Amino acid sequence: WAAGVEKNDAGEVTIDGIPVSVLKEQFGTPLFVMSESDFRSRARAFKDAFDAAFEDICGGVDVYYAGKSFLCTAVASWVADEGLRLDTCSGGELAVAARAGIEGAHLGLHGNNKSDAEINRALDMAVGRIVVDSLDELERVAKIASSRGETAKVMLRLTPGVHAHTHEFIATAHEDQKFGLSMAEDSTEEAGLSAAEEAVAAATSYPSIELLGLHCHIGSQIFEPDGFAVAAEKLVGFLAAMQAKYSIHLPELDLGGGYGIAYTPVDTPRPPAEIAQAMAAVVRSTCSELGITPPRISIEPGRAIVGSTTFTLYEVGTLKTVRVDAPEGAIGQENVTYPRRYVSVDGGMSDNARPVLYDADYSAILASRDSEAAPQLSRVVGKHCESGDIVVRDVYLPADVAAGDLLAVPGTGAYCWALSSNYNYLARPGVVAVRDGAARLIVRGETEEDLLNRDMGVANV
Ligand code: LLP
């Protein structure tokens, strides 16, 4: 839950003192409700934790908030206010950054298939770094920059063979995924030359490219520091080797995003300070072993900043109860069935695709009132024409939950609105930001008119 979320005396959930019934009245449901102060303090906390850990190594860290997790003009401006930079991955995200007035030097542009228009836009905006994903793209960026008579500031995204997901990481020599330049020695036709090294050599030879450094991103929703530390060690080693071999200086190293959050009580991510210190220890020791001046470190957290700042408010509609078998393997329960109640809400997979896409777990609470009723095993589902349209797979909600009640689902700040769709012609919900006891729309919810706007009607039939 975001800071500032509480229950009032009537048992109603409030944020900064504003009851959810008032938010519903004013803005409707479904609704994303975000705490601006929580966003700002998480952004600052991340920056402070990493700055503290890396202060003596490279004078601090540049934190690029990963806009893909959730971006709108207001959020981009908070990011800048708090001293963070912005990581974008499309022309559209650059457009939001421009609208928020973010300085070009504080922007990064990612993507494994940037269009010429996106590369030109990045150069128009004088972005601080274009993170190049492939040899093909390096050549394209070099050509475009050269035709403009400019120099593009570039980082190379490498794939260190470290993959992390939540509790564990695996390290492999080879990469079989679309992103980045492989560090495996046999990853190109040239014997002994990795794609990553080939890119360093090529980047150094293009007069229209200024090679700032290297980048990697090992995954998302990662709890433990180990994977980050292994990736950092590999990247520092490679950076040192390239500096020596090509007589160049690579001043920057970006270690990507991926820091996890707790969606339910079983999730136990390590605090940012602990991860920062583990990463700093490896960067410090590897640089000193190899005798190089440490590069300036940057990171790209998205979820860890915005994820917990937001909850989704839904209204309950229909309910039904079915009987389900006991879970497989439950001893002595072979012939036992249990009631499970389906609680339908007025949104679903169009405003939160994560349960469908990733089997993601969320929780929910009855937000509009107190209830003394016994807890009942419930499944919160959406209103889409799809049986997989689940919001919360298993949650105990009071037995008297009824149509018209409001449910709140926490932890929906990252990759929910961002991944939202108009499936079944549902309008995307708005996003409300709460600050100092006042709520305001930062993204308007769609209307039916918005939905019909792009449909050409019968004009072209
Ligand atoms: N940097 C790069 C290059 C990335 O690809 C990503 C996320 C980030 C930073 C930010 O990662 P974060 O700190 O937010 O984990 N839709 C999925 C997550 C996709 C992540 C894509 N890249 C989900 O909902 O779990």
Residue 175 labelled as part of a binding site: no
307 CA to centre of ligand 1 in angstroms? 12
Cβ–Cβ under 8 Å, residues 414 and 303? yes
Neighbours of 350 (CB within 10 A): 22
Q: Give 101's contacts (C-beta < 8 A, 6+ positions apart).
A: 77, 80
Residue with CA closest to ligand 1 atom 9: 257
CA distances from 86 to 4, 51, 127 (A): 26, 17, 10
What ligand 1 atom has the least distance to the C-alpha of 219? 15
> What domains, with CATH codes, occur in the chain?
5-35+308-453 (2.40.37.10), 60-301 (3.20.20.10)
- Angle between the N-to-C axes of helices 226-246 and 195-205, in degrees from 0 to 180, rounded to the nearest 10: 50
Ligand 1 centroid distance, CA of 88 (Å): 11
Residue 259 marked as a ligand binder: no
Ligand-binding site membership of 301 (annotated): yes
Residues with a CB atom less than 6 Å from ligand 1:
66, 68-69, 87, 110, 217, 220-221, 256-259, 300-304, 354, 358, 414-415
Edge-first strand order for the sheet with 5-7 is: 5-7, 13-15, 18-19
Q: What is the pLDDT of residues 262-310, one digit of tens each?
A: 999 999 999 999 999 999 999 999 999 999 999 999 999 999 999 999 9
Average pLDDT over residues 455-460: 86
Using CA positions, which residue lies closest to atom 20 of ligand 1? 220
Separation CA 325–CA 460 (nearest Å):
53
Dump pLDDT digits (tens) for 166-225: 667 888 878 888 999 999 887 776 667 899 999 999 999 999 999 999 999 999 999 999
pLDDT digits 0-9 by tens, 34-69? 999 999 999 999 999 999 999 999 999 999 999 999
Quick check: ipTM above 0.95? yes
Torsion sign over Cα 96, 99, 100, 105: positive
Residue nearest to atom 5 of ligand 1 (CA): 217
Backbone torsions φ then ψ of 345, nearest 5 degrees: -115, 170
Q: What is the pTM of this model?
A: 0.97
Cα 69 to averaged position of ligand 1 atoms, centre (Å): 7
Closest approach atom of ligand 1 to CA 259: 13
Whole-angstrom distance, CA of residue 339 vs CA of residue 129: 55
Residues annotated as catalytic are 385
Nearest CA to ligand 1 atom 12: 258
Which pLDDT score, from 0 to 100, does residue 175 have? 83
Report the separation in Å between the CA atom of 228 and the middle of ligand 1, taken as the mean of its atom positions.
Answer: 14
Which atom of ligand 1 lies at the shortest distance from residue 221's CA?
15
Going by alpha carbons, the residue nearest to atom 21 of ligand 1 is 220
d(CA 142, CA 153): 10
- Find out whether 358 is annotated in a ligand binding site: yes
Q: Identify which of 39, 50, 69 to mutate to test ligand 1's pocket (most ligand atoms within 8 A of the CB).
A: 69
The C-alpha atoms of residue 390 and residue 352 are separated, in whole angstroms, by 9
